Amino acid sequence: MGKYFSKQKWSYLFYTISHPMDGYYWIRHREYGSVPLAILMVILFSFSFTANRLLASFVVNDLDPRGIDMLYELMGVLAFYLLLCVSNWSVTCLMNGEGRLKDIAVAIGYGTVPMTFVMILSTIISQLIADEEQAFYGILIGVGIAYGVIMMLIGIMQVHNYTLGKTLLTLLITIIAALIIVFLLLLLSNLLGLVYNFFHSIYTELIFRV
């Protein structure tokens, strides 16, 4: 297979979407996946998500456009992606998971593609529907998200060579691990802030005395 964004990688991405079981297996064992492509997919998902929130028609959209910031949401999605990958990796390392960090990144990243697709599709469809047809819009989005989640689940299951039960268990622990990571990061930033303040006050003290 070619480099990161080669034609084969792209076509294998679409193969994985339609055949997740098989697709993820070969991603783990034959290097058919591409991490940069997965990250690109996550970025596209973030953009489509923002686009849906901003551009969906007035009938279905009750959000205040002033409260939506595309870059802010991109940061959020990327941070969440990183957090999920790292916490899943750190949990599965201890639980006999076979997947490497890059496999996890590909599994989750490729899983966002159905969601991206459905976000764009529903944004277009929202322009054509009236109040009573809102249910279709909701079902469409629900189906897309469900498909994406199932894909991620299968992806994680396959790259680690887990059973479904063990996958769900590790996912639960992954969420706890993610919370711990967030907690530690907050603690770290807080402590670093204190250290910074300490040196800063020494500096100002010196400035005032000299």
Q: Which residues bind other proteins (CB under 8 A)?
A: 58-59, 62, 64, 128, 130-132
Q: Specify whether the CB–CB gap between 129 and 137 falls below 8 A.
A: yes
Q: Which is nearer to other proteins, 1 or 59 (CB)?
A: 59
Closer to other proteins by Cβ: residue 56 or 107: 56
- Minimum CB separation of residue 53 from other proteins in Å reads 15
User: At its nearest, how many Å lie between other proteins and the CB of residue 128?
Assistant: 7
Q: What share of the chain is helix, strand, coil (3-state, %, to 5)?
A: 80, 0, 20
Q: How far apart are CA 156 and CA 14, in angstroms?
A: 18
Backbone angles phi, psi at 29, to 5 degrees: -100, -15
Give the integer Cα–Cα distance in Å for 116 and 45: 5
Minimum CB–partner distance for residue 127 and other proteins (Å): 10
Query: 99 to each of 14, 25, 27, 62, 90, how far by Cα in Å?
Result: 21, 10, 10, 41, 11
| CB closer to other proteins out of 7 and 132 | 132
Q: Which amino acid is at 96?
A: N
Residue closer to other proteins (CB basis): 61 or 90: 61
**How far is CA 196 from each of CA 98, 203, 209, rounded to the nearest angstrom?**
41, 10, 20
Instruction: Supply the minimum distance, in Å, between the C-beta of residue 117 and other proteins.
Output: 21
Nearer to other proteins, 60 or 104 (CB): 60
CB of 60 to other proteins, least distance (A): 9
Q: Residue 158, Cα to own-chain centre: how many angstroms?
A: 18
